[in-house]
């Protein structure tokens, strides 16, 4: 086999098609037409997701001495969300198109005045994209041409709908119809899903599906301090589902309405060097993403501008990932001061303090919060790992292969066990024995159907790092070796059972 060559840039269509074809991810309730913003993870998807969670939990909690775990309930006392500010402020600005009934997030709907010879002659609009300004410029040129307006067109200045003046709203065309007059002014839309607890369906029974897991850690802070033998600095970590009624769920599982978060609240002394701690956590998170196979070239950092931070926030940095649809937030690392604990102390009446042995005084710890979505990581590893390649077989024939270059740490199947021929009982017996032994510890797959090349391709497409073939050399030559075929290089070599287990031990952790 020759060195593979990539054939094209990765497209989201190709990722979505692979996810459906190979059972990673399905649209929720598909047979009823689907439910926008909700997804189901199929047999390979659950394995991949579980591996991402397990790697995070092992590295974040089990392999550290300063972080403990928590699993808090999804529905919490409604006062939690008043204290946290979510009831009043967890909103997105929403714009409706009264004609098409489409809804837009105002900060994702852009417009620009078309200015010719210093005069505003109309407006154009576009949804946020990689090239919003370019698209608006093109639309402005088309507008001028169609209306046969003479004069010098000024370069457009893109603004989002939250910046539109009241008198401009009626003049901005809806992206759905292309005509002005149907867009509403932006209004606040609370993204929490409401439900009722108990038999009564009145205002007193209203509660919420949590929009983040973080509040569980703050509300249980005293419980953990009183029972967990923890000392500052220490963290409480949680993995679990969160729910947000997103106005525009999009980009497959990137922004959905039900998703999973992995969050950690790292509590530090009020006088600690929060800036250093913040930077240390940003680097820890970056290194962790590299450890599960994301390429450094796809990662970047974005510091939120000071003027856009909440008043209590000392700083937020996002680790960004280059998805096929643009560079987007993957992991937020926020320095939140002591705002959350103070809010819960105020609303519950229960002090959220720690006793400082050195000063003999009580104080409220500050917190650094790395918060990431499991689904966003999963999408990132699929996008970074996916490739369509042209490879040459032994006879020099060019063929196509789709490959998912997933790290062995997270690959849903670690090894495929393949007897060369299914009608040779001596090969099958050894293969089945090896399969049984491997599956006590690892996710492995046994496949005896079809020619060996096709079986390799099937495994390439689901990201299996290694295939082990039991062939005639296994039984005929001393040493009982198998053929180990490596996914990325497609190189083959002989390996003993002990060497195979050693390889797995080293690479799957
Ligand atoms: N406790 C802080 C917090 O929840 P966030 O930036 O709103 O902060 C943290 O969310 C992470 O959760 C994001 O960086 C992203 O990875 C993930 N996330 C947020 N909203 C999401 C959505 N609608 N769908 C998928 N993942 C989401």
pLDDT at 3: 53
Dmax over CA atoms of the chain, in Å, equals 88
Confidence band of 183 (pLDDT split at 50, 70, 90): very high
244: enclosing H helix or E strand: none
In this structure, the residue with its CA closest to atom 4 of ligand 1 is: 212
Å from CA of 178 to ligand 1 middle:
32
* Residue 261 CA, closest ligand 1 atom number: 12
267: enclosing H helix or E strand: strand 258-268
pLDDT at 215: 98
**pTM > 0.75: yes or no:** yes
* Residue 212 CA, closest ligand 1 atom number: 4
Phi-psi region of 252 (alpha: psi -120 to 50; beta: other; left: phi over 0): left
Give me the phi and psi of 375, to 5 degrees please. Answer: -65, -35
pLDDT at 92: 93
Average pLDDT score over residue span 458-468: 98
- Which of 192, 343, 373 gets mutated to test ligand 1 (max ligand atoms within 8 A of its CB)? 373
pLDDT at 8: 60
For the stretch 73-98, pLDDT in tens is 999 999 999 999 999 999 999 999 99
Å from CA of 44 to ligand 1 middle:
23
* 8 Å CB contact between 227 and 244: no
Find, among 295, 278, 371, the residue nearest to 329 by Cα. Answer: 371
92 CB near ligand 1 (under 6 Å) = no
336 CB near ligand 1 (under 6 Å) = no
210 CB near ligand 1 (under 6 Å) = no
Confidence band of 420 (pLDDT split at 50, 70, 90): very high
Confidence band of 480 (pLDDT split at 50, 70, 90): confident
144 CB near ligand 1 (under 6 Å) = no
pLDDT at 6: 57
For the stretch 353-367, pLDDT in tens is 999 888 999 999 999
Find, among 37, 154, 159, the residue nearest to 103 by Cα. Answer: 37
Average pLDDT score over residue span 101-128: 96
Average pLDDT score over residue span 6-10: 68
């Amino acid at each position: 086999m020759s060195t593979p060559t990539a054939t094209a840039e990765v497209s989201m269509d190709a990722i979505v098609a692979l996810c459906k074809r190979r059972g990673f991810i399905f649209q929720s309730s598909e047979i009823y037409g689907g439910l926008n913003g909700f997804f189901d993870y199929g047999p390979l998807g659950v394995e991949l997701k579980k591996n991402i969670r397990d790697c995070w939990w092992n590295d974040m909690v089990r392999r550290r001495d300063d972080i403990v775990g928590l699993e808090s309930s999804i529905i919490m006392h409604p006062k939690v969300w008043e204290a946290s500010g979510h009831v009043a402020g967890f909103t997105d600005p929403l714009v409706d198109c009264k004609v098409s009934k489409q809804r837009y997030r105002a900060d994702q709907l852009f417009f620009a005045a078309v200015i010719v010879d210093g005069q505003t002659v109309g407006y154009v609009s576009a949804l946020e994209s990689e090239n919003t300004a370019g698209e608006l410029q093109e639309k402005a040129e088309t507008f001028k041409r169609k209306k046969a307006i003479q004069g010098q067109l000024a370069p457009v200045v893109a603004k989002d709908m939250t910046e539109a003046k009241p008198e401009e709203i009626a003049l901005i065309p809806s992206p759905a119809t292309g005509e002005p007059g149907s867009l509403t002014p932006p209004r606040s839309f609370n993204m929490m899903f409401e439900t009722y607890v108990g038999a009564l369906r009145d205002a007193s029974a209203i509660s919420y599906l949590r929009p983040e897991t973080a509040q569980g850690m703050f509300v249980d802070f005293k419980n953990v301090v009183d029972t967990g033998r923890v000392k500052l600095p220490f963290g409480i970590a949680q993995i679990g589902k969160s729910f947000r009624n997103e106005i525009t769920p999009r980009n497959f599982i990137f922004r959905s309405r039900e998703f999973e978060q992995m969050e950690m609240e790292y509590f530090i002394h009020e006088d600690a060097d929060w800036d250093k701690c913040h930077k240390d956590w940003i680097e820890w998170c970056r290194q962790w993403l590299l450890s599960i196979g994301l390429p450094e070239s796809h990662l970047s950092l974005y510091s939120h501008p000071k003027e856009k931070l909440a008043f209590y926030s000392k700083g937020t940095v996002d680790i960004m990932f280059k998805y096929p649809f643009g560079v987007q937030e993957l992991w937020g690392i926020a320095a939140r001061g002591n705002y959350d604990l103070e809010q819960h102390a105020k609303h519950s009446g229960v002090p959220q303090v720690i006793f400082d042995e050195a000063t003999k005084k009580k104080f409220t710890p500050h917190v650094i919060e790395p918060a990431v979505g499991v689904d966003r990581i999963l999408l990132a590893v699929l996008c970074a790992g996916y490739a369509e390649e042209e490879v040459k077989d032994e006879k020099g024939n060019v063929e196509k292969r789709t490959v998912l270059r997933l790290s062995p740490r997270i690959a849903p199947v670690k090894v495929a066990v393949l007897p060369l021929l299914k009608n040779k009982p001596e090969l099958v017996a050894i293969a089945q024995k090896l399969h049984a032994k491997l599956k006590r510890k690892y996710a492995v797959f046994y496949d005896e159907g079809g020619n060996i090349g096709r079986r390799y391709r099937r495994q390439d497409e689901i990201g299996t790092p290694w295939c082990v073939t039991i062939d005639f050399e296994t039984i005929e030559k001393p040493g009982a070796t198998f053929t180990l075929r490596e996914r990325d290089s497609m190189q083959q070599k002989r390996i003993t059972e002990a060497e195979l287990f050693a390889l797995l031990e080293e690479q799957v952790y």
